[in-house]
């Protein structure tokens, strides 16, 4: 027996982990939801908060298309930009200060690093906001593998972010675990050919995540860390 595997998996049994960021490693979903609500109110667009929650984690383009469909409002490129800017201003100005890392997030990443299991972050956010968000975990975006919306053509539920993250780690995405809190992460994982693991920490129901293809669902990173053997990481 040898530890060299021909299928591209590491000693730990999986090629690596590709993490979503907001709602998966950092407890920021509800703050983003209300920041979008603030921005939409400022544009005079009435949309129920739960409907925004159910769309969070999509690419900005698909997100505004989905809003368009649900509200029947005009969505010019100029208005899209105003919405994005108002969301960023509300998030930074009103909501970001109380955003925290999720329980076990940093411990999980540190454990994988110690076990030499490669990991990367793949987020629908842009680098400007993602670097602030990873700082909540005590991490420097310049020093970790992270793929942001600005670096790929299409965001989730397209698979591009996870494909690019696997390429960054030089691992086969088909032997990778994608970890995310939203149905968009899990749909993108399936399109990428990866195994999707869902976390409840973004506020979605277990059933929604399972229906979107989650192989397993855990509460949060701390709960996933406790059950890593279930997803193929050997102790």
Residues contributing to the site for a second copy (CB under 8 A) = 27, 29-31, 33-34, 37-38, 41, 46, 48-50, 53, 94-95, 98, 100, 102-103, 200-208, 220
Q: Answer for the pair 201, 108: CB distance below 8 angstroms, yes or no.
A: no
Q: Residue 16, SS3?
A: strand
What DSSP character marks residue 190? Answer: H
- The b/e string for 198-213 (b: 16+ C-beta within 10 A; e otherwise) is bbbbbbbeeebbeebb
Residue closer to a second copy by CB (options 18, 34) is: 34
Cβ proximity to a second copy: between 32 and 168 the closer is: 32
105 or 194: CB nearest a second copy: 105
d(CA 82, CA 93) in angstroms, rounded, equals 16
**Closer by beta carbon to a second copy, 80 or else 222:** 222
Check if the beta carbon of residue 209 is closer than 8 Å to that of residue 186.
yes
Cis-peptide into 68, omega within 30 deg = no
């Amino acid at each position: 027996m040898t530890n060299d595997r021909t299928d591209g998996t590491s000693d730990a049994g999986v090629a690596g982990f590709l993490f979503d960021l907001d709602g998966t490693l950092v407890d920021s979903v509800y703050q983003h939801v209300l920041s979008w609500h603030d921005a939409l109110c400022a544009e005079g667009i009435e949309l129920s908060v739960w409907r925004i929650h159910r769309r969070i984690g999509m690419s900005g383009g698909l997100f505004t298309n989905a809003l368009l469909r649900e509200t029947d409002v005009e969505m010019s490129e100029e208005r899209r930009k105003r919405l994005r800017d108002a969301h960023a201003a509300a998030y930074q100005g009103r909501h970001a200060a109380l955003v925290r890392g999720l329980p076990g997030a940093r411990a999980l990443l540190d454990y994988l690093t110690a076990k030499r299991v490669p990991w990367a972050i793949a987020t629908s956010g842009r680098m400007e906001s993602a670097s602030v968000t990873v700082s909540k975990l005590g991490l420097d975006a310049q020093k970790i593998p992270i793929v942001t919306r600005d670096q790929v053509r299409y965001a989730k539920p397209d698979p591009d972010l996870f494909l690019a993250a696997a390429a960054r780690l030089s691992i086969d995405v088909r032997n990778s675990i994608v970890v995310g809190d939203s149905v968009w992460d899990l749909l993108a994982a399936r399109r990428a050919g990866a195994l999707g693991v869902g976390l409840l920490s973004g506020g979605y129901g277990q059933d929604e995540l399972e229906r979107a293809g989650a192989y397993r669902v855990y509460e949060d990173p701390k709960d996933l860390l406790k059950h890593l053997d279930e997803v193929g990481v050997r102790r």
